Structure 1
Amino acid sequence: MDYGYTGPIDLTGLTAEELRELAAPWPVEWLFPPREDDPDRVVNLFSGPGGWCVGIRDVLRRPTDMVGVELHKDAAATAEAAGFRRIVADVTQLDPAHPALRWVRGLIVSAPCQCWTPSGKQAGHDQRNQDLLMDTFLAATEATFGHFHDAGPCEWEGDCTICADPEWDGYSGFTGPLLTLAEARAPIEQMTDARVGLLAEVLIWALSLSWRYNSLAWLAMEQSSALPEDVLDAIKAELLCADWVDAKYKVLDAVDYGLASRRKRVFLIASRHHLLDVEALVPRQPIKPMPAAAALHWPAGVRVNTRGERKTPGGNEWSADKPSIAITSKIRGWYWAHDKSRRFSLDEAALLVGFAPGHPWTGSRSSSCQQIGDVVAPPMSCVVIGALLQEPWEQRLRDYLTTIYRLAESDELYDVAA
């Protein structure tokens, strides 16, 4: 739905039930302005079981008032059991200009990545799908900011809200919405896989919030490292055209930040009010690789079988004396090569992607492993949000890894010799 709210809402005299109905599905208190010392309100789209949330709350230790939107019921239940708020809903069916979102300061988006990763069908790399995605990006701007009207005669073929203003003084400015959000999403219907179009939600929500309201200050996006740079550059360009001050992206591998597994992802960060330093995403001191066996307190010499007897070009085993290969949902079937009965527990699988033991995974083993395979690694959430918000993250990351890996004080995470 598009509620069409652009101005303050008179809440005077509304009953508690009426307030709940107006705020739904968001918290009632979000209808009211925050107090000066309240934490940032943050919307987390495709929020999963809590990777971003754990990284911000437990690693970076930054207070936030965050609500996540997640369609997968088991993932939402996992997050709720861990103390995070979730709305079980389809992101595309919610209104990004809902009146309860007027004071939202931060937006986090992690659209599904199966369309982009080499292990999937890669529908996102089909040129026709990419062209349609670019059309959706442009339409997202037209459905929010519209087009920029230069001083002088208008070249816009449709109705121009600036020219149509009888009091127009001839100066420039944004026209405002020229399309509905449904019209902006229309190109997605022509894609061979509609999941490709979910990437457009990062612009639909960021531009809707920053056009309708003036509170949104920052954006963080995570996606497969295989996402083409042309797509990332297009997202960045639309944000800059809409008067965001800066947007940058960088591919990061979690193993370079002390994680006991490889996990390469691209992160895009954007700010409406200040320039960004992409080098703030890089640790000042290189961090030593963390062997999986050391993190899990396994004996030396363990090899992990990932594919049974099936041989592949990359092999079907890896040594736990080194960081793990990238964790996917298939970890549910991995076992010690010399002992087929020794499989990963959920705590062990989750520890490899940066969750402390005891995270309340909900659902079947297959569902839980799928959540672990898809989740944003909490240490990387700490790094990205810390760099974006100009908050020191290195020592907090080190403290967290030392705790979850149960390292002795004498153990050194950083490569002192580097």
Structure 2
Amino acid sequence: MTTITRPRSFARLDTAGALGTPEESDLTGKTPEELAEIAAPWPAEWLFPPEPWEAERVINLFAGPGGWDVGVRDVLEYDLDTVGVEMHKDASATASAAGFRRITADVRSLDPKHPALRWVVGLVVSAPCQCWSPAGKRAGQDPRNQELLLDVFTMAFEATFGHWHDSGECSPCEWADHCLICSNPDWDGYAGFTGPLLTLDEVRAPIAQMTDERIGLLAEVLIWALTLTAQWDNLRWLAMEQSSALPETILDGIREELWSADWCSAEYRVLDAVDYGLASRRKRVFLMAARHSYVDMAALTPAEPLPTTTAADALGWPEGISVNTRGVRKTAGGNCWSADKPATGITSKIRGWYWEHNKDRKFSLDEAALLVGFRNGYPWTGSRSSCTQQIGDVVAPPMGAVVIGSLLSHHWEKPLRRYLADIYAHTPAEPEHTLAA
């Protein structure tokens, strides 16, 4: 057995990792049951440092039914030791049935300082996007809500790194009792970060003033990234997916806090999955950050353009099919799209879409999922409405492959071309079952 220890000498608080104050944990002689209890809800083996040949440990927050996971495992054919956290029971069950590890819990109920997370090197975050997307009520676009969110970002830094402490002592009215520098009896006058000045509960408190609490879920990307960085200093990369309507002010706020925590690089770009061979449009913004290196945004661009895939080609439909999305309702954008082009953005409403000339011909689950990049037979779990909601919200696997591949300098283009050729080659023209409206 391995003993988790921490040097007793007082570290200079001028870099991340020196801020954490974990208690020593002697795991020698612990039974498997005892280790599982200590590690819960994380894997027991995560209490120990990984062997050099073992896969990198990754946390996936708001992990959903497996979009990022499929992108890594099935598209890239790459091995990461990932544990996802997902509150939605059906989405969690879907991912588990597909062979991915899930903790069914609210992200906010878990502690980023848990000792089992000491050797985590990657963080993936896909907070709910309804409050930002034009398809939702867009409460995130309200200036007051954005102001509160930016305040939470700042407080997340204060709860992890604190403030930069110059060579003088903290004044009595400030943080003298909490500062990890001048409260140290062996302090020799050097500068550094004060260390945590707030609790995570205090960080999240302003979220209660927002008109939609889901806006505040976006702050978890910083709460977890900064905590893991300050506590352990092993986190090396971050990938975040969100609605393409997320304001640049918010994206820049995330980047600035990461830079303040001495992250080397944090960049973002709006990507449309149709440009990467997907048979439907799916525009999202992806933020990519690296702790000790620069993010290569050029790696997101394929050497050669990927072929455009129409919905009809992907689904094996005949030419000339028009899909009705809104029944007899007329909208500025129309209520139909041509299957001889890539499909419009897939949402949970696909459960009611049908062929314009045949109202009884609706989409099967396999067809709906295929349009966003999943193989036939993926084990969607739950009611029809729940399954289509999962499909509408999920990160498209091809995009997960592109983003993670680019971050980890793992070539994604050839594997993606093979994957798309495979999943779009043998789809039956008629589904075995269709979705009720």
Which TM-score bucket, shorter chain as reference? Answer: over 0.9
Match of 2:193 in 1: 174
Once the 2 structures are TM-superposed, how far is the Cα of residue 128 of structure 1 from its aligned partner? 1.0
Q: Is 1:207 aligned with 2:223?
A: no
Match of 1:322 in 2: 341
Q: Is 1:300 aligned with 2:316?
A: no
Q: Which amino acid aligns with 2:188?
A: D
Are the aligned partners of 1:132 and 1:188 in contact in 2 as well (CA < 8 Å)? yes
What percentage of aligned pairs have identical amino acids? 68
Give, in whole Å, the separation in 2 of the partners of 1:235 and 1:390.
23
Give, in whole Å, the separation in 2 of the partners of 1:136 and 1:53.
29
Q: Which amino acid aligns with 1:363?
A: G
Q: Is 1:270 aligned with 2:286?
A: no
Once the 2 structures are TM-superposed, how far is the Cα of residue 407 of structure 1 from its aligned partner? 7.5
Are the aligned partners of 1:142 and 1:177 in contact in 2 as well (CA < 8 Å)? yes
Match of 1:412 in 2: none
Give, in whole Å, the separation in 2 of the partners of 1:256 and 1:16.
48
Q: Which amino acid aligns with 2:31?
A: T
3-state secondary structure, aligned to 2:34: helix
Q: Which amino acid aligns with 1:147?
A: H
Give, in whole Å, the separation in 2 of the partners of 1:157 and 1:325.
55
3-state secondary structure, aligned to 2:225: helix
3-state secondary structure, aligned to 1:100: helix
Match of 1:44 in 2: 60
Matches within 5 A, 1:15-414: 15-152=31-168, 154=170, 157-159=174-176, 160-406=179-425
After superposition, give the CA deviation of every residue in 1:164-196 in whole Å (9 maximum; x if it has no partner). Answer: 223222221111111111111111111111110
Are the aligned partners of 1:137 and 1:238 in contact in 2 as well (CA < 8 Å)? yes
Comparing 67-76 with 149-158, which one deviates more in the overlay?
A: 149-158
Taking structure 1 as the reference length, what is the TM-score of the superposition?
0.95
Unpaired segments ≥5 residues, structure 1: 409-418
After superposition, give the CA deviation of every residue in 1:220-246 in whole Å (9 maximum; x if it has no partner). Answer: 000000000000000000001001111
Are the aligned partners of 1:5 and 1:97 in contact in 2 as well (CA < 8 Å)? no
Q: Which amino acid aligns with 2:386?
A: S
Give, in whole Å, the separation in 1 of the partners of 2:372 and 2:330.
26
Give, in whole Å, the separation in 2 of the partners of 1:343 and 1:148.
59
Once the 2 structures are TM-superposed, how far is the Cα of residue 154 of structure 1 from its aligned partner? 4.5
3-state secondary structure, aligned to 1:262: coil
Q: Which amino acid aligns with 2:237?
A: W
Once the 2 structures are TM-superposed, how far is the Cα of residue 337 of structure 1 from its aligned partner? 0.4
Unpaired segments ≥5 residues, structure 2: 1-19, 428-437
Once the 2 structures are TM-superposed, how far is the Cα of residue 19 of structure 1 from its aligned partner? 1.3
Match of 1:413 in 2: none
Comparing 347-356 with 186-195, which one deviates more in the overlay?
A: 186-195
| Greater than 3 Å deviation, 4+ residue runs | 151-156
Once the 2 structures are TM-superposed, how far is the Cα of residue 7 of structure 1 from its aligned partner? 4.6
Q: Which amino acid aligns with 2:205?
A: A
3-state secondary structure, aligned to 2:278: coil
Q: Which amino acid aligns with 1:226?
A: A
Match of 1:416 in 2: none
Size of the aligned set, in residue pairs, is 405
Taking structure 2 as the reference length, what is the TM-score of the superposition?
0.90
Q: Over the residues paired in the alignment, what is the CA RMSD in angstroms? A: 1.4
3-state secondary structure, aligned to 1:168: coil
Give, in whole Å, the separation in 2 of the partners of 1:146 and 1:57.
38
